[in-house]
Amino acid sequence: MNAVGAFAAVVEDVDATRGVMICRSGFSQSAKTFARNKGIGLYNLHDAESRDWCLELTIPLLWVDLHPSGRVEYPVYLNAGESLPLDDGVPFFFTRPGGPRVNPIAGFERLWNERMIPDTPGVTHGLKIAPLSVPVVGTDGQTVWRPTAFQMSYQVDRRAWLGQFTPDECRGLVDYLDSEAFIAAHLPVGQIPVERDDRWVEIDDPDGVAINTRGTVVTTIGFEIAPGSGIVEDPTMIPPNGLPPERL
């Protein structure tokens, strides 16, 4: 108590906005009450390389997975008897007649994996790749080129799980005035789990958990799409003289 009072006097003398006191041996209840009234933070320095502390320490881990899905549209005018050459049931595109072939789905995968396009859940995002050309096979077997504007709308589904882990190596502070919350100062990335088990609990509001959890909460986000894993589901073929969308 005497040490906390003396420290509070120093904080007031130098006109500091806040003071923080760290002690390995802890603080009495009266010292905690005095420090809270004076706006002084009280912390204990802990190191998880100590066996006892390692057994006591658990850190919340918020695991979030992001899954994009969407619909693509590319209006192409077809005369009666004309058709589109397909790759696995899907037309292929070119930047210009006879130019480099464009795979819009692969382009989306690259932009997504490089975090260059939005991934906010709960809203519809748009992506355009234009202008493009598509080869059309006429009734005489000859290829003609038609312009098209490739557009994609997509949504992001988010699922989240809450778990905890005990690192073999970790250093940080315990906040005595905030439910003894642990604030990590050193946590090796290699200590964070990369797999879930049945002890993880799925949650609906990961944002609320991250905000309300006291002390350190580790958040991991799984977003990467394996190249070439884009799946075409329920494609709608384009009839003659029609302009309906192709659905991915």
Q: How confident is the model at residue 241 (pLDDT cuts 50, 70, 90)?
A: very low
Residue 4: pLDDT band by 50, 70, 90 thresholds? Answer: confident
HEC per residue, the chain:
CHHHHHHHHHHHHCCCCCEEEECCCCCCHHHHHHHHHHCEEEEEEEECCCHHHHHHCCEEEEEEEEEEEEEEECCCCCCCCCECCEECCEECEECCCCCCEECHHHHHHHHHHCCCCCCCCCCCEEEEEEEEEEEEECCCCCEEEEEEEEEEEEEEEEEEEEEEECCCCCEEEEECCCCCEEEEEECCHHHCCCCCCCCCEEECCHHHHHHHCCCCCEEEEECCCCCCCCCCCCCCCCCCCCCCCCCC
- Average pLDDT of span 31-56: 71
* pLDDT tops 70 at residue 191: yes
Please write the tens of the pLDDT for every residue from 57-115. 778 899 999 999 988 887 887 888 888 887 766 667 777 777 787 777 788 888 899 99
Q: What is the pLDDT of residues 131-190, one digit of tens each?
A: 788 888 888 989 888 888 778 899 999 999 999 888 877 887 777 777 677 778 788 888
Give the pLDDT score at 43. 73
What predicted TM-score, i.e. pTM, was given to this entire model?
0.68
Q: Is the pLDDT of residue 29 over 60?
A: yes
Give the range with max mean pLDDT: 6-10, 73-77, 96-100, 199-203: 199-203
Range of lowest pLDDT (85-99, 100-114, 207-221, 231-245): 231-245
Q: What mean pLDDT is predicted for residues 200-228?
A: 83
* pLDDT tens sequence across 121-132: 999 999 887 678
Question: pLDDT value at position 244?
Answer: 42
